Structure 1
Amino acid sequence: MSLDRPDADNTLDVREIDGEPFDDIMGALADLSPDESLLLLNSFEPEPLYRVIEQRGFEYETTNPEPDLWCVTITHE
């Protein structure tokens, strides 16, 4: 794993999920305490997810530290 990967309280690697990861992501966000962060690891930039995240009161920061690895750090607004 890249040393450039952001730190977070919780990590969800959706690359390991067989099938659509949306429910897993929403479950992880629902379990996120107001002072915690979630690091979402994906093989592509999850652009469609950004609007959903914002509508649910979260903000995000995305990095692409290596090919086929997108890191999205999600926190409460």
Structure 2
Amino acid sequence: MSGKIVSLDVREILRAKGEPFQLIMETVSTVGDRDVFELHATFRPDPLIRVLAKQGFANSVVEEEPDHFIVQFYKEDTDIPYFHLDNRELDPPGPMVRTLDFLDSHKACAEGELGLEIWNVRVPAFLLPELDERNYNFQVDDEGDGTVRVKIRRA
């Protein structure tokens, strides 16, 4: 059973000195067990991370720019956090390019502090040898419903 990424950008609310907590919690209430809630904020929201951790959410945080943090919340117990990319709507070679760009541009992946989980429509046959060459381990899970999940992390 595949999931989806539910994205919410509250940066403009925060810049206008607004309080997005209620909107965030309303959005979180719509997230299914296989879904990922993706929050775009102007800072790392540590209080929210603690609140959602108490509700069973793991998280991964990526700083895209000094005032743009992407925090993903998901219900899975893992030893390291995983950032999720949904590549199912991309035509080849889009999924491979997007995946390698993410791995290349995020130091935490290279250092093994952050894993990456990609969602593709098929097993990424050309990506897997590239991951081997770059010293990444991967686990492929074909869910049989048009979603192949690949978990990637530094070897």
Q: For this pair of structures, how many residues does the alignment match?
A: 70
The structure having more radius of gyration, on CA atoms, is 2
In structure 2, runs of 5+ residues without a counterpart are 77-155
Query: Which residue of structure 1 aligns with residue 33 of structure 2?
Result: 34
In structure 1, runs of 5+ residues without a counterpart are 1-7
Which of the pair has the greater relative contact order for Cα pairs under 8 Å at 6+ separation? Answer: 1
Which ranges of 4 or more aligned residues in structure 1 deviate by more than 4 Å? Answer: none
User: Alpha carbon RMSD of aligned pairs, Å?
Assistant: 1.4
Output the amino acid matched with 2:44. Answer: E
Query: Which residue of structure 2 aligns with residue 12 of structure 1?
Result: 8
Residue 12 of structure 1: CA displacement?
0.4
If the length of structure 2 is used for normalisation, what is the TM-score? Answer: 0.42
Output the amino acid matched with 1:21. Answer: P
User: Which range is displaced more, 67-76 or 13-22?
Assistant: 13-22
If the length of structure 1 is used for normalisation, what is the TM-score? Answer: 0.81
Distance in 2 (alpha carbons) for counterparts of 1:66 and 1:15: 12
Distance in 1 (alpha carbons) for counterparts of 2:28 and 2:56: 10
